[in-house]
Amino acid sequence: MLTHKVDGDGPPLLLLNGGLMSIGAWQPIVPALTAHYRVIRCDFRGQLLALKPPYAESWEEHAADVIELLDHLGVERAHIAGVSYGAEVSMFVAALYPDRVERLTIITATERTVDWMCANAREGQRIAERAAAGEGGGEELFRNVLQATWSEEWLAKQPPDFMEQRLRQVAMLPPAFFAGAAAILSILDRLDLTPLLGRITAPALVIGGEHDRVFPPEHSRAIAAGIPNARLVIMPGTGHGLLFECGERVVELLLA
């Protein structure tokens, strides 16, 4: 059973993490959502609150884990909102278990990993495995991720030591975190949702960042084109971290 947290009351809204996220990262927007939803958060196998192996070895396993959690909570149908890695899982859930998804919100995702994305994932996996073995590399992994996550426009508004503050927190992470991160990254080079998008029947909203360097906006457009009747919103001036760069706007879209 996935480690999870439930807040609020109302129709169920399941929030699915990005690859190196944990459920706490959603906290800034959760209070605005719990007035309208029963908000469910979980960590995938391999994430901070679920570090014990065995790890999921496929996207289908992650999707099955999500369905097991919904069954455990007695949730027949939910609005599922995923960001990045979690958005990929959300699309697998919606395609493979269409009766369980009321609505779908896909934030900063891709319909498939192209060559340069696969190369970045393999390099991240290599660094994470080194960190898991106690050979260093944790700071390098997070520096690479953070530099790709934030838009230049948003970073310019942060304190000068913003990045270094984040990197100092990495020293507190156990080796098991990086073993889990390596497992999370290992299946990114086997991602191709293009045959499944047409099977998604839930009303879908696709949100992309204009300056996303991880999954550029043309991939959000491809997702929206592949899902019948999907709505597309490209957030101007934002990067891959748009969930945090413009959280209030994301909340507005989730509540719309």
| pLDDT at 118 > cutoff 90 | yes
Integer angstrom CA distances of residue 170 from 13, 133, 141, 164:
30, 15, 10, 10
Q: What is the DSSP letter of 212?
A: -
Beta-carbon neighbour count of residue 124 at 10 Å?
23
Contacts 24+ apart (CB under 8 A), 45-50: 45/2, 45/180, 45/183, 46/179, 46/180, 46/181, 46/183, 46/184, 47/17, 47/20, 47/21, 47/22, 47/180, 47/184, 48/22, 48/173, 48/177, 48/180, 49/3, 49/22, 49/23, 50/2, 50/3, 50/180
Q: What is the DSSP letter of 173?
A: S
Longest dimension (CA), the chain: 49
| pLDDT at 33 > cutoff 90 | yes
4 has which bridge partners? 42
User: H/E element holding 59?
Assistant: helix 59-72
Q: What is the mean pLDDT of residues 191-212?
A: 98
Q: Which two tokens stand for residue 175?
A: 């080796």
Domain locations in the chain as residue ranges:
4-114+191-255, 116-185
Cα separation, 13 vs 159, whole angstroms: 33
Cα separation, 206 vs 171, whole angstroms: 35
pLDDT value at residue 224: 98
Dump pLDDT digits (tens) for 131-167: 999 999 999 999 999 999 999 999 999 999 998 998 8
Answer for the pair 67, 97: CB distance below 8 angstroms, yes or no. yes
| pLDDT at 171 > cutoff 90 | no
Beta-carbon neighbour count of residue 38 at 10 Å?
18
Dump pLDDT digits (tens) for 48-83: 999 999 999 999 999 999 999 999 999 999 999 999
Answer for the pair 9, 33: CB distance below 8 angstroms, yes or no. no
In 3D space, the residue among 226, 206, 256, 218 whose CA is nearest the CA of residue 83 turns out to be: 206
In 3D space, the residue among 12, 199, 16 whose CA is nearest the CA of residue 107 turns out to be: 16
pTM attached to this predicted model: 0.97
Q: 3-state SS of the chain: helix, strand, coil percent to 5?
A: 50, 15, 35
Cα separation, 54 vs 211, whole angstroms: 36
Look up the CATH architecture of domain 4-114+191-255: 3-Layer(aba) Sandwich (3.40)
